[in-house]
Each structure stands twice: as C-alpha cells, then as structure tokens.
Structure 1
Amino acid sequence: MSAFVFFAVLAAALLHASWNALIKSGASKFTSMLIMTVLQGAFGSIIALSNALPAASVWPWLVASALFHSGYKLFLSYAYEQGDLSRVYPIARGAAPMIVLALSGFLLSDTLAAFEVIGVLLLGLGILMMARGAFANGESRRLVPFALGSAVMTAGYSIVDGLGARVAGDAVLYVAWMFFLDALIFTPVCIAFRGRGVLKSTKHDWMIGAGAGAASYAAYAIVVWAMTLAPIALVTALRETSILFAVVIGWLVMGDRMDRGKATAAVLIVSGVVLTRL
C-alpha cells in the first residue's frame, strides 16, 4: 500500500466516524439517516445516469451491496437510539472484521495464522468488554444486538463491494450506482419500519443529513477506490481506525462517559483488527 493510499484511507476513517457522530447528534436518527441516504442517492444518480449502464455481471454485486447497506443503516439507527456513539460504534465496526475472518476460517476451511487467532481473541475480548460496559453502567442492553446486526451487514457489504468494484473496473461509477440503489431500497424500508412520520423534518435535520451524506459518500468512495489498488483486507483494517476516532469524538465532543474499561476495550478492538489483517 502506497503512502498516498494509506493517508487517504485514514482520512476516510475520520470522515466515517464524523458522519456517525452527526447522525447520533440528530433528534431523529432515522430522519437524519433517511435524508443522508436520499441525498447520496440523488448525487449518485447524477453520476450513474450520465454514464453507460454497468455490465450485466456487475448488477448482482450492486443489488447485494445496496441491500447490505440498507440493512446496515437500519440496524445502526436503532442502535444509536439506544446508546452512546463511543459504545455502539466500536461494537458495530469491530465485530465486522471478526465475522469476515470467522467465515473464512471456519466455513471456507481457510487456515488461520497464529497472529490471526490472537487478533480474533483480542477482538472478541474487546467487544465483550464494550458490551459488558453497557450492562454494568445501566445503559440499554438493546444497543448490543442492534450494533452486532450492523456489524453483520458491514461484513457483507465489505466483501461484496471489494469484489464488485473490481468486476466493474470503475470504483467511482460503482459507488454512484450503489448509493442510487441504496436510496431506492432504504426509503420505503425506513417508512415501513418507522411510519410516514419519519418524513417530517426540520432545517436542522437537513443540515445534519447533508453533512453526514457528504462525509459518508466521500469516505466510502475513497475506501472502494483504495480496494482497487491495495489488498481488501489491509484497507478494511486501516479503515477501522475510525473506532478510535469515534471514541474520541464521543468523549470530547458529545460528552459520552469515558472510563478505563471503555478505553481499554476500544484499544483491544483496534489491535485485534490490525492483527487479523497483517
């Protein structure tokens, strides 16, 4: 991985943590998430529809990706209704690489190196510490299954998009179509789960949604582009440094409670991700 790609992915990690903080700060997590998705879809449509249609071989990847992304945002919105950014985000992002590695190691009969096993154990320990912290501090226990559901969706779209962008041969166009399809799927799903009241929004909601949409679009475009130039596993691992960014933002900006257990758990999660991706 070149230095330029390395720092670009780090910037994407900061952008990712930042848009999550914006969504968390909104009065209605679902309304802000819906606005973000619609704006991303509108921008994506401009790029997508001004170019030739993707090849037939790309469409299964795009549809699968849009479904995973919609599921991801659904679970994440519910999770943020239940818990702090610095609690939900590390569980949601940290569990994803562990799920990918577990699938490859146990379902696909891949051989795990010793440091990968250690990485999985560190990931598991860090996530358990985060979950235990929620229970011990009297936080809503419902945040844990929602955060883990978000992690499952993240694992799915990480694999699909890394491979799909390579099949497409054009990361920018691939991301544009993905966000366009995501908006078409997430909008009716969001209304179905939350009712038409989710469509009621304020100027503040639009400001949050627009800021989150711009940060999210840029962050993911950078990541998918990087996956076409560097190993998917390395890009995914480096991207998860966003966990530390989110913990710091939650603590310093949003006033989340910080204690030694939460800080230790975040460090274990990031360390585990790094070891599984070496």
Structure 2
Amino acid sequence: MSEWLMALEGTPDGHDLALWLALVAAFLHALFGALQKGRHDPWLSRGAIDASYSLMAMPFALFVVPWPEPHMWPIFAGAIVLHFAYKIAQGVTYSLGAFTVVYPVVRGTAPLFAVIGAGLVFGERFSLLQWLGVGVLLAGTYGLAVYNLRTIRLQRETLVPALVWAVVTGMFVAAYTTYDAYGIRATANPFTFLAWFFFTDGLILPWLVALRWRRMSDRPALGPLAARGILGGVTAFASFGAIMMATRLDSVGEAAVLRETSTVFAALIGWVVLNERVGPRRLTLMTMIALGAVIVEFGG
C-alpha cells in the first residue's frame, strides 16, 4: 500500500486524495476534541487516549513496519516534546472554556501559522485568492472570539484566559503540523513514521495523569474512562494518520487549512452530544471559518 501511496505524490490523483483525507481528518478531529472535552476531566480523557493509542501502535511499530532510519530518532524526540507541550496547552484550554467556544479559536488560529511554516520549511506559496480565504477564516475565528467574549455565560469567569490559551494551542497545532509533515517526508515508509509516532507519543502523559487520578478525592470509574480512551485512540489514528498522509501527498498548507472545516463538525457535536448552545450567529461565524478553508483549497 505504501508503494501505491508514494506513487501518487505530486499527481492530480494525489491532490484529490489529499483533499478527501483532510476532510476526513476534519470530522474526526472534531470528534476527538469532543471526546477529550466530554463529561470526564479533560486531562484524564487525554491520558486514557494516549495510553490506548500507544498500546495499539506498539506491535505495529515493533513487528510490522520497517524500523526507522537512524536519522529519524532525533525527529521522533522533537515530536514528543512538541506534542507534549501542545497537550498541556490543550488541556488547560479545555479546562477553562466550553468546547464550542475554544475549539473554533484553536482550529482557526492554526492555519495562519501553518501556512507560514509551510512556506518557510517547504517553500510553498499561496495565491492571492488563497490568502483571501485565510483572511475569511481568520475573520470568522476572531469574530467568533469577540462574540463569545460579549455573550457567552458558560464558564464566563474563565473565558478570557480560555481564549488566550486557545490561541496558544492553535500555534502549537501549526507547529506540530509543519514539523510532523517534515517528519513523515523524512522516512521512506510513511507508516513507519505513523506507527512509531503513536507508540512513542503516548508514553509520557498517561503516567502524569495516573498521578492526578490517584490524588482525586472523587475518582471516576476506570471502565468508562478506558472505553473513552480506546474510542479516542482509534479516532486519533484515523484523524492524525489522514492529515499526515495528506501533507505527504500534497501541499502542507492547503491540507492544514482544509482541516479547519472541523469547526462546523465541532458545532454540531457540541450541540447534539455535549448539549452546548450554538445559536445562528455563532454557527454563521463557524461556517465562515469553513468557507475560508474551502476558498484556500479551490484558489490554488
């Protein structure tokens, strides 16, 4: 399968496949965010998810895919550090703000820095129309932030720091998207990168989260938490794997921006699953974010 995928790099078919992979990643990433933000403590949810996907990836990394080339080990080390910092920022963000408030800001902030990073690292250039799409996306993002700042009542006392942390988290998303796109292109077999990334990335946070769980006076049951972790692990495999393959097959910047259609999926999930009120104005602003991503895709 890897040979077939590599043959599509830089081709029109590869571009089309990257588009669909980015859209799949958008939906799954919104679902992943909702799983972490759901009824459990977001730190516990993330720890359970990390433990699950690390255990799932271990046999593939050790026994199925080719072993990484020597130059890949420092790349994996950098990815572990970068993703750990992102998880801390994301955990703080979800602890302070409602999902439909902070998630669009995280996802809307990331593309601007991802596009800049893709230009610096991979020499990608956006057309004027694509930059217009980025502008529409950012207008929707920060318009939504201002609207939430003025009207939201849920977790009102922590809304301002939640929005600040959401911007910081978005910057980390852009950083790891660019870095991981470099990593998956640095190895001959992309599945080697994915298997070893998931195996090593989930080795640290679960231990810290276990200490948090032990110190809780009212500890949640481990069964439902483990079930959420398994579902989140499978979702992470599909979401992250899809966007990473999209960045290898085609433009990193376009894939990163198109993934931000996840804001519309997040609004629907927050409304249907988490019982968070969305409203027509917030939904319109979220749709602007998605529209900006679509303009970027078709403006290339």
TM-score interval (norm. to shorter): 0.7 to 0.9
Identity of aligned residues (%): 25
| Residue 96 of structure 2: aligned partner | 82
Quick one: which of 266, 281, 287 aligns to 1:267?
A: 287
| Residue 56 of structure 2: aligned partner | 43
Task: Spell out the pairing of 1:196-211 with structure 2 (5 A cutoff).
Answer: 196-197=214-215, 201-202=220-221, 203-211=223-231
Relative to structure 1, the CA distance from residue 108 to residue 171 in structure 2 (aligned partners, 3 Å threshold; closer, same or farther) is closer
- Structure 2 unaligned spans of 5+: 1-11
Quick one: which of 232, 244, 254 aligns to 1:234?
A: 254
Give the alignment's TM-score, normalised by structure 1: 0.87
- Structure 1 unaligned spans of 5+: none
1:162-204: per-residue Cα shift (whole Å, max 9, x none)?
1211111222221111122212233355568x57537x55211
Question: Which one is further off, 173-182 or 134-143?
Answer: 134-143
Q: Given that residues 84 and 250 in structure 1 are in contact (C-alpha distance below 8 angstroms), is that contact kept between their aligned partners in structure 2?
A: no
- Any idea what SS the aligned residue of 2:202 has? helix
Relative to structure 1, the CA distance from residue 251 to residue 111 in structure 2 (aligned partners, 3 Å threshold; closer, same or farther) is same
| Residue 128 of structure 2: aligned partner | 114
Q: In the TM superposition, what is the alpha-carbon distance from 1:103 to its structure 2 partner?
A: 5.2
Q: Given that residues 21 and 245 in structure 2 are in contact (C-alpha distance below 8 angstroms), is that contact kept between their aligned partners in structure 1?
A: no
Task: Spell out the pairing of 1:1-278 with structure 2 (5 A cutoff).
Answer: 1-2=12-13, 3-50=16-63, 51-102=65-116, 113-136=127-150, 137-138=152-153, 139=156, 140-188=159-207, 190=209, 194=212, 196-197=214-215, 201-202=220-221, 203-276=223-296, 278=300
Aligned residue identity for 1:58: M
1:13-55: per-residue Cα shift (whole Å, max 9, x none)?
2221112112211321101100100111112222112254311
Equivalent-residue separation in structure 2 for 1:215 and 1:112 (angstroms): 30
- Any idea what SS the aligned residue of 1:55 has? coil
Question: Which one is further off, 253-262 or 35-44?
Answer: 253-262
Question: Which one is further off, 151-160 or 1-10?
Answer: 1-10
Equivalent-residue separation in structure 1 for 2:232 and 2:121 (angstroms): 36
1:131-159: per-residue Cα shift (whole Å, max 9, x none)?
21232124322211221121111111111
RMSD: 2.8
- Any idea what SS the aligned residue of 2:250 has? coil
Aligned length: 276
Equivalent-residue separation in structure 1 for 2:229 and 2:197 (angstroms): 18
Question: Which one is further off, 228-237 or 112-121?
Answer: 112-121
Equivalent-residue separation in structure 2 for 1:47 and 1:170 (angstroms): 13
Equivalent-residue separation in structure 2 for 1:12 and 1:46 (angstroms): 24
Question: Which one is further off, 16-25 or 233-242?
Answer: 233-242
Q: In the TM superposition, what is the alpha-carbon distance from 1:109 to its structure 2 partner?
A: 10
Question: Which one is further off, 107-116 or 171-180?
Answer: 107-116
